[in-house]
Structure 1
């Protein structure tokens, strides 16, 4: 089944010539966008784009579908503008805290769309760690925060999820397996390890502990994902990172899925003690749409 996000993605791919760039524009991960595009083509029973290594171009039929999609989205925007002009503008402020990766790659395009829908609402974002997000929420210093793997008791609006991926030097013994091979978490954690945290409490150490495993040989611990990739290339050790953090340039690296997939979920949550403001409720309603 197709929804508005699918049609926005379709137009964004046509505008940017790249599924990766289009995914960032509409607020999706690259893998989710690729799956959505494949699902659209399967539902319609037609190929809308031809995919080349450096660009994605519409087919002749795709051009016609994209033209109609633009008309539909334009009509929807006209309806929204008509309604907005007929009612008082919602005003207010929203303070949102998030850890850097989700803020930059996922939340930013959503907030751009929100600003178009609600120009009277001012949104302030704070770039903090996942632990600081919870502290700020509990102290009621922010309206909303992006939380990793939110607890069931917190009312959460899920933004997305990604998989944890093993990253090894290309000459590592485990990296010599076939292209479709996976690696177990236990085998990975037994290797000399570069512990990358991204400033978050959810990392290889916590994932291992949850599985009853221990990192036996941590050679170095770093905050930045790019630092970890450089160290892996140099043969210092292997690492485990979220799919969203993987570099575009992977020379010298072998990326492998875990045999038993592990994912992390990120979601917007509000204060545990008070209801969201009208402005925050408007943002949550847009995301639910």
Structure 2
């Protein structure tokens, strides 16, 4: 069954000529996008796209279908604008604070989708450490903030989960293990260590301390998560990084799961002064 999300996806593929990029724009996974496009073609009984090695092009029928799809989407957006105006959502501003790794990975699709649906509402993303995010929320400087591992009482809207991974030089003895075997924190704490904070107080060191252990040989501390992987590749030490921050090019690296496995959750928390804000509540509903 086709819905508006399918038609938005088709339009995004036509505009970007790339299924992966289109999936990001509409806020779904690449596999979900591929499945949705296949369902559309199956329902229509005709090919809409030609998938080539470097790009995706639209068939002649697809171009004709897109004319109607874009008109339908424009009409729906006009209806949404009328509804927004009736609910006081025709204008307003949301300031959303987060730390760098989430701003780069989790939020772009959410922000893009909300801006498309509610063009009258200005959504501003502010980057800071997790301590700064908490300070801004408490002071009412921002309406929403991304918080790591929020307590249930804060009624956070969970927007993602990240697994902590051990990152080891490929030449290291631990690097010879298979990925299913994993590695224990107790095996890492005595190694030369590259500590990456990502602008957060929740990082490898806090993870180790929660387990009752201590890093005994921190060789270098960096804020940028990507820099830590580079330093590990150069042989300066081992590290523990969130899975979303792992580099695509893992040459010279071995990535192993921690045993037992460990995670960090991202939750959107509303500041006290923004709880009655119509734009904020609209954003939280759309999550």
Interval containing the TM-score (normalised by the shorter chain): 0.7 to 0.9
Match of 1:96 in 2: 96
Instruction: Check the 8 A contact 2:26/2:112 in 1, yes or no.
Output: no
Cα distance in structure 2, aligned partners of 1:12 and 1:177: 42
The range that moved more, 68-77 or 144-153, is 68-77
Cα distance in structure 1, aligned partners of 2:69 and 2:146: 32
1:179 CA displacement: 4.8
Go from structure 1 to structure 2 and tell me whether the alpha carbon gap of 1:112 and 1:273 turns closer, same or farther (over 3 Å shift).
closer
Go from structure 1 to structure 2 and tell me whether the alpha carbon gap of 1:275 and 1:199 turns closer, same or farther (over 3 Å shift).
same
Instruction: Check the 8 A contact 2:144/2:270 in 1, yes or no.
Output: yes
1:39 CA displacement: 8.0
What are the equivalent positions in structure 2 for 1:90-169 lying under 5 Å apart? 90-169=90-169
Cα distance in structure 1, aligned partners of 2:78 and 2:105: 27
Larger radius of gyration: 2
Match of 1:220 in 2: 220
Cα distance in structure 2, aligned partners of 1:39 and 1:188: 41
Go from structure 1 to structure 2 and tell me whether the alpha carbon gap of 1:17 and 1:80 turns closer, same or farther (over 3 Å shift).
closer
Cα distance in structure 2, aligned partners of 1:187 and 1:96: 39
The count of corresponding residues between Structure 1 and Structure 2 is 277
Match of 2:233 in 1: 233
What are the equivalent positions in structure 2 for 1:60-71 lying under 5 Å apart? none
Go from structure 1 to structure 2 and tell me whether the alpha carbon gap of 1:71 and 1:269 turns closer, same or farther (over 3 Å shift).
farther
1:227 CA displacement: 1.9
What are the equivalent positions in structure 2 for 1:4-83 lying under 5 Å apart? 15-17=16-18, 19=20, 21-27=21-27, 33=29, 36=32, 75=72, 78-83=75-80
1:134 CA displacement: 0.5
Match of 1:254 in 2: 254
Match of 2:184 in 1: 184
Structure 2 unaligned residues grouped into runs of 5+: none
- Alignment deviations for residues 208-254 of structure 1 (CA, whole Å, 9 cap, x no partner): 11222221221111111122112111111000111111112221111
Go from structure 1 to structure 2 and tell me whether the alpha carbon gap of 1:83 and 1:161 turns closer, same or farther (over 3 Å shift).
same
Taking structure 1 as the reference length, the TM-score comes to 0.78
